[in-house]
């Protein structure tokens, strides 16, 4: 099967992003919830956060691909998506501890949602024309994306409650950033699952 340079680039970058987020899921699976929530252990800092840093860093490739026209994603939306996640992980997590349930919940939602998303993108590139990968993506995405966003907001609220009340203002802004991204995702889902019109038979 021959593949153009553009398609190869997309498959390679999507595979890299899928692998990075799948590795975060692997950490959850191998360390276990007990190991990650143990406040006497540094397992969360040593195992989970480096995996998250790597996944978030590799995910910035998505911004590059849309800026150079390899995908039809809106650069500003991708920028908002990636910078918010990076800011939450880098700035908010140290305020509430890595093993807080809010952080673990958010990290799991991020990793599962993006492993599915980039895994489906990879399958779309390898097997164009199929509908199964898109159906999975548009089924899992509308569930995991709001859960992950809700987790981010919970993290900010937890940090605000622990002596940084100005962060309540930041938490209040979360719905404003969530709305356009969720609206776009639901529009894409609606188009994908819309009944396909059957071609009309021309009379002879």
Residue 103 scores a pLDDT above 90: yes
202 in any annotated domain? no
In this prediction, residue 4 has a pLDDT band, given cuts at 50, 70 and 90, of confident
Residue 183 has what pLDDT?
A: 92
pTM higher than 0.75 for the full model?
A: yes
43 in any annotated domain? yes
**Which is nearest to 188 in space by CA: 124, 127, 105?**
124
> What are the tens digits of pLDDT across the range 21-56?
999 999 999 999 899 999 888 999 999 999 999 999
90 in any annotated domain? yes
In whole angstroms, give the CA distance from residue 102 to residue 110: 12
Q: How many domains is the chain partitioned into structurally?
A: 1
80 in any annotated domain? yes
Percentage, residues of the chain above pLDDT 70: 95
Identify the domain containing residue 178 by its residue range.
5-193
201 in any annotated domain? no
């Amino acid at each position: 099967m021959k593949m153009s340079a553009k398609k190869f680039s997309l498959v390679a970058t999507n595979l890299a992003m899928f692998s990075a987020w799948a590795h975060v899921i692997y950490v959850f699976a191998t360390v276990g919830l007990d190991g990650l929530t143990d406040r006497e252990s540094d397992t969360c800092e040593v195992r989970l956060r480096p995996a998250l840093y790597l996944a978030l860093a590799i995910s910035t490739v998505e911004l590059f691909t849309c800026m150079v026209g390899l995908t039809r994603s809106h650069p500003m939306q991708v920028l908002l998506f990636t910078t918010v996640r990076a800011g939450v992980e880098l700035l908010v997590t140290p305020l509430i501890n890595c093993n807080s349930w809010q952080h673990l919940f958010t990290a799991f939602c991020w990793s599962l949602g993006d492993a599915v998303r980039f895994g489906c993108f990879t399958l779309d590139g390898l097997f164009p024309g199929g509908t199964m990968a898109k159906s999975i993506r548009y089924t899992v995405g509308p569930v995991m994306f709001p859960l992950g966003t809700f987790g981010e907001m919970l993290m900010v609220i937890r940090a605000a409650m622990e002596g940084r009340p100005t962060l309540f203002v930041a938490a209040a802004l979360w719905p404003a950033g969530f709305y356009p991204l969720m609206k776009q995702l639901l529009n894409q889902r609606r188009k994908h699952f819309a009944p396909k019109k059957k071609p009309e038979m021309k009379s002879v």
